[in-house]
Amino acid sequence: MAVDHKRLALVMRDLALLAGDKIMEIYAADDFEVRSKSDESPVTVADEAADAIISAGLRAAFPGVPLVTEEQAESHLQSSSTFLIVDPLDGTKEFINRRGDFTVNIAYVEDGIPLRGIVYAPARKRLFYTDSEGRAVEETGPFAKEQTGPTQTITVSSPDNSALMVVASKSHRDQATDDYINRYAVADMKSAGSSLKFCLVATGEADIYPRLGRTMEWDTAAGDAVLRGAGGHVVRFEDHSPLTYGKPGFENPFFIAHAPGVALEKA
């Protein structure tokens, strides 16, 4: 069931860019439909259009690999430890409010580990992914289809624990998160939406991203893969063990994404 990683990187990139184009086409419209899903989270035509592009492309390219995607509830029933996982539009609230911090996320999980991933923020014109060797890179524009542009290898920071750079959620901040952050010596705080927070840690723009709230594996797998490829870690909040994938229901525990040099506070 394992895949050709060189082909995987190219396919994921092309599909993320195609989905991003469709999302931005809808984003530019005067109005678009917003509905509530069964869990009361919002969904738009952009989520569904991007999902159709990505899921069709992945199933055609890798028919033997199970696919899990947020927008297809039947896909949540699969139980393999090796699978493709997609959030076609992470940060739907950011999209609805036209704040720009939304991303396309595609990842490949093997034996519970997110080995490869891509995070594309079309409104921010930032594209992060793991290359065929698993190294994390950021590509600069113009993001031509089927032709990779200039890339720069990204690596996590060497953090100063007396002056940490923290990134936290823009739409899901709460008192518990702030209380935990206040246990560190913080030099600066950033807010970002969607899986961009993982990428800011991966590039060294932040040292730590704690998440004390509900997330699903499709929210995190691609950003987790990019961060791992940059030398970072994503660990469970409670015991600092590595976050794994393929859990029943695909729900994550609280977690911390961080550069290795951060002296983590206990839960």
pLDDT tens for each residue of 20-66: 999 999 999 878 878 877 776 778 899 999 999 999 999 999 999 99
Handedness of CA 223, 225, 209, 143 (dihedral sign): negative
Mean pLDDT (whole number) for 152-162: 98
Q: Which residue has the higher pLDDT, 92 or 84?
A: 84
Query: For 222-250, what is the mean pLDDT?
Result: 97
Distance, CA of 212 to chain centre:
16
Check residue 42 and give its pLDDT: 78
Tell me the C-alpha distance between 182 and 47, whole Å: 35
Spacing of C-alpha 23 from chain mean position: 16
Residue % of the chain over a pLDDT of 90: 83
**Local confidence band at 1 (pLDDT 50, 70, 90 cut-offs):** low
Q: What is the mean pLDDT of residues 224-253?
A: 97
In this model, does residue 172 exceed pLDDT 90?
no
Q: What is the rounded CA–CA span in Å between residue 36 and residue 217?
A: 20
Residue 255 tokens, joined: 């977690």
- According to CATH, the topology of domain 5-153 is Fructose-1,6-Bisphosphatase; Chain A, domain 1 (3.30.540)
pLDDT number for residue 33: 79
CB neighbour list of residue 94: distance below 8 Å, 6 or more residues apart: 100, 101, 102, 170, 171, 193, 194
Q: State the average pLDDT for the chain.
A: 94
Q: How far apart are CA 7 and CA 85, in angstroms?
A: 16
The pLDDT tens digits of the residues spanning 13-27 come to 999 999 999 999 999
Find the helix or strand (DSSP H, E) in which 16 lies.
helix 5-27
pLDDT score of 160: 98
Please check whether the two domains, 5-153 and 164-258, share a CATH topology: no
Span 105-126, mean pLDDT? 97
The CATH class of the 164-258 domain is: alpha beta
Mean pLDDT over 112-140 rounds to: 97
Ordered by start, the domain boundaries in the chain are: 5-153, 164-258
Confidence of residue 201 (pLDDT cuts 50, 70, 90): very high
Compute the Cα dihedral for 36, 37, 41, 47 and give only its sign.
negative
Give this prediction's pTM. 0.95
